[in-house]
Amino acid sequence: MTLAIQLTVKRGAFTLELNHSLPLHGVTALFGRSGCGKTTLLRAIAGLDRHAKAQIRCNDVVWQQGNHFMPVHQRRIGMVFQHSSLLPHLTVLQNLLYGFKRRLKHSAVQLEPAQVISLLELESLLQLQPEQLSGGQRQRIALGRALLSQPELLLLDEPLASLDQQSRNEILSFLQRVANQTGIPMLLVSHQLDDVVKLADQLVLMQHGRIISQGPLPQQLLQPELAVISAMSLLYAQSHGCHNHLLQLSIGKQQLQLPAPLSNTGTQTAYRLRIQARDVALSLTPLTDSSVSNQLQVSISGFNNAPHPAETLVQLNLEGQPLQALLTKQSVERLGLQVGQQVYAQIKAVALD
């Protein structure tokens, strides 16, 4: 799916100006600081706000152009809002079916209520009223309700922002499940890089009302604007099962072993590895007398400024995937590191998704 957007919004001193084509598949994060125009863009895509200077096309369907404006209820979108959006006069089940019943007439059913209810584990909540639910449960139901409206695109407007950490993680894993099992493209607005890195495949970076870059998440993480917030890398690895509670992973020809997640069911074959740049050390030769057992052969592809003046971000190429290491400038000089050089990366900590 491709969204072609031309949009100009002026509001006081703030100007949003875009002319972009966003290829959407999997989860695309719309990332930027508060006030950069993410939500404005999302609401324009949904049709919740009508701006005079806007042209929006979804694949071949024109959503807005000149005087033509397709109203929200005719766009095939599902939306999850930041705050609880359940209709308070309806039960959980009635909320879930609100969109399903209305879209039923116009489109083939791809997702049945029973499927969504089991996917999001909503069985025990169906007869409750919204006010009896926790924040996390409400967002889970809002997500299910959006899915049941048979959307071609899911728009998520900071769906985790009003939740506590535990509920955040819960909803994140449900969102992962939805992304993997339904294949519906998602556009996720967020200003939390941590959430984005757990979930997104692609990232659209916004700043001061403009899109300054877009592309696959691992490459986007090298952008200086993101490295300032949190220098980290995202690697995709294949799993080959467990041995002595250690997950056997491979990236290209190289092997890693990591403590298996306790909830591991052994069915997951692809993992996302989040690695902080400060948890990566470099050596010129493989270390044999170190406790760090995950040691990967990489080549240096570049250097970037780090937030701290004494440090440098070293960009590495690991079997075609980017990896970053945070070193002091002193270490870089002492080892004589240069672009193109083969080195060994010791990885001290990994978060698995």
Partner 1 sequence: MMPELFVALSPQDWQAIRLTLKLCLYTTAILLLLATPLAWWLALRQSKLRTAIQAIVALPLVLPPTVLGFYLLLLLGPHGAIGSTLERLGVSHLAFSFSGILIGSVIYSLPFAVQPLLESFRRMGAGPLEVAATLGAGKLDQLFSVVLPLCRGGFIVAATLTFAHTLGEFGVILMLGGSIPGETQVLSVLIYDHTEAMNYAQAHQLSLGLLISAFVVLFIVYGLNRRFEREAVL
Q: Rule CB under 8 A: which residues touch partner 1?
A: 46-48, 71-74, 77-79, 81, 83, 85, 87-89, 98-99, 102-103, 106, 131, 145-146, 149
CB closer to partner 1 out of 149 and 324: 149
DSSP annotation of 230: -
Q: How far is the CB of 333 from partner 1 (least distance, A)?
A: 56
- β-strand partners of 243: 246
CB closer to partner 1 out of 146 and 314: 146
329 φ, ψ to 5°? -60, -35
Task: Return the residue matching tokens 């309806």.
Answer: 90
Q: How far is the CB of 46 from partner 1 (least distance, A)?
A: 6
Q: How far is the CB of 85 from partner 1 (least distance, A)?
A: 5
CB closer to partner 1 out of 156 and 332: 156
Q: How far is the CB of 153 from partner 1 (least distance, A)?
A: 11
Q: How far is the CB of 112 from partner 1 (least distance, A)?
A: 17
CB closer to partner 1 out of 47 and 218: 47
- The β-bridge relationship of strands 186-190 and 153-157 is parallel
Helix (H) or strand (E) holding 286: none
**Do residues 298 and 323 lie in contact, with contact meaning Cβ atoms separated by under 8 Å?**
yes
- β-strand partners of 302: 315
Residue 237 exposed, middle or buried by CB count within 10 Å (0-12, 13-18, 19+): buried
CB count in 10 Å sphere of residue 132: 11
CB closer to partner 1 out of 32 and 144: 144
